Amino acid sequence: MLNRYARGFFTRLFTPLARLLLKWGVTPDAVTIAGTVGVAGGALVFYPLGQLFWGTVFITLFVFSDVVDGIMARMKGHSGLWGSFLDSTLDRIADGALFAGVAIWFFTGGQNAAVAVAALACLVLGMLVSYARAKAESLGFTANVGLAERAERLVSVLVVTGLTGLGLPQGFLLAVLVLLAVASLVTVYQRVRTVRRQSLADRQAP
């Protein structure tokens, strides 16, 4: 949902930067890799140290590489299967690092096992959401449905984690993580149901 409404705005916002990077000879793949390294590094260094606010600020600087690399690829006319594969694969690394970083802190210095477990649940279910879509598409089906797509998960966890670092009670972060986990589980169900319907329709087709 957020993807559909926000992508146009951020495309206009980052197009000048994408054009400048191309002028400097930077490739879309380089931006994709740098963004992943930045997000994963920030999540696995700042968060485990308890620096939730500054970790979020650092991560946010790199999150939008996912938009910039796509703009660059379209400008070069190189948007295709390789770029899509690389982007999707590295997105999983970034997402996993983000939730893992939160879990590590709250299992250790944060001393809140409930938040840590909820973060791990989001990590696992988020991967399952992505896998369900990828597997469906590899079999010729479509599964682009659901409540909890990547943009919603990222925005939610980053905003609330950053605010927690500024003193927001940890209960708010726990609530958001639990809601994200539930939404991810519902999304998996929606995608399985969607593919099941398509499969039955294919069987009945003449």
Nearest C-alpha neighbor of 119 from the set 157, 85, 160:
157
What does the pLDDT profile of the chain (206 residues) look like in tens digits?
445 556 667 777 888 888 898 889 888 889 999 999 999 999 999 999 999 999 999 999 898 888 888 888 888 876 677 878 888 899 899 999 999 999 999 999 999 999 999 999 999 998 999 899 989 988 999 988 887 777 778 888 999 999 999 999 999 999 999 999 999 999 999 999 999 999 988 777 66
What is the Cα–Cα distance from 18 to 77, expressed in whole angstroms? 13
> What spatial distance separates the first Cα and last Cα of the chain, rounded to whole Å?
35
Given the residues 66, 87, 91, 95, select the one marked as catalytic: 91
Nearest C-alpha neighbor of 44 from the set 3, 103, 91, 1:
103
Measured between alpha carbons, how far is residue 156 from residues 13, 43, 47, 56, 146 in Å? Answer: 21, 15, 16, 12, 16
Residue 91 catalytic?
yes
The rounded Cα 162 to chain-centroid distance in angstroms is 16
The rounded Cα 121 to chain-centroid distance in angstroms is 15
* SS3 state at 6: helix
Cβ–Cβ contacts within 10 Å for residue 65, how many? 25
Q: Is the pTM here over 0.85, yes or no?
A: yes
